[in-house]
Amino acid sequence: MDKFTKLTGIAAALPLRNIDTDMIIPKQFLKTIKRTGLGKSLFYEMRFDTDGKENPEFVLNKPAYRQAQILVAGENFGCGSSREHAPWALLDFGIRCVIAPDFADIFYNNCFQNGILPIKLRQSDVDKLLDDASRGSNATLTVDLEAQEIRGPDGGVVKFDIDPFRKHCLLNGLDAVGLTLQKDAAISTFEATAGTSRPWL
């Protein structure tokens, strides 16, 4: 998993409540277990019409936001089914950070396991960032995980809280597998002696 330390990127505003995982990546795209290739189908039913043509009004289809790496959204982001394809699609599109007043629990946890930083903020702070994100090519935010700060294009700073363990994992690029591999020497030692000390196994 890629480390998340400091991210400076275009922020896109998607001020909708209750964006569920089927809106993030519709069910017809869940046939793969690969983490790549899903970005083109992110928010498919909002990005494209029934003929597969781009909706020019959708924020990620606008020229200024096609390379967005930060999404500022409404409350209860990621509700619905627990599909891990949702953070995979966001990451494959290029989104590394989602900012919202709150998140569905499973989606929130899945973000950390896939190198995406989900940030919970008060609605008043989200509103400030939505305003920043509405500035087109000037909608650049800097998210500093170490300092736990978001800096806006005008120099304003918003602080955010994060669980220390999750912060450690993101800063060091550690998912569940990476955390386990940190104990590789102890695991190898245990396996080497287990047969002798427990011959009945």
In the chain, what are the domains?
A: 6-174 (3.20.19.10)
Q: What is the pLDDT of residue 193?
A: 74
The CA distance from 170 to 125, in Å, is 23
Burial tier of 60 (Cβ tally within 10 Å: 0-12, 13-18, 19+): buried
The CA distance from 115 to 39, in Å, is 15
121 in helix, strand or coil? coil
Q: What is the pLDDT of residue 188?
A: 66
Q: What is the pLDDT of residue 55?
A: 97
Strand ordering across the sheet containing 97-100: 117-120, 97-100, 70-73, 6-14, 140-144, 149-151, 157-159
Q: What is the pLDDT of residue 34?
A: 85
Global pTM reads 0.89
Q: What is the pLDDT of residue 196?
A: 73
Asked if 113 contacts 179 with a C-beta cutoff of 8 angstroms, the reply is no
pLDDT by residue, tens only, the chain of 201 residues: 999 999 999 999 999 999 999 999 999 999 888 889 999 999 999 999 999 999 999 999 999 999 999 999 999 999 999 899 999 999 999 999 999 999 999 999 999 999 999 999 999 999 999 999 999 878 999 999 999 999 999 999 999 999 999 999 999 999 866 665 565 666 666 666 766 777 766
Asked if 153 contacts 139 with a C-beta cutoff of 8 angstroms, the reply is yes
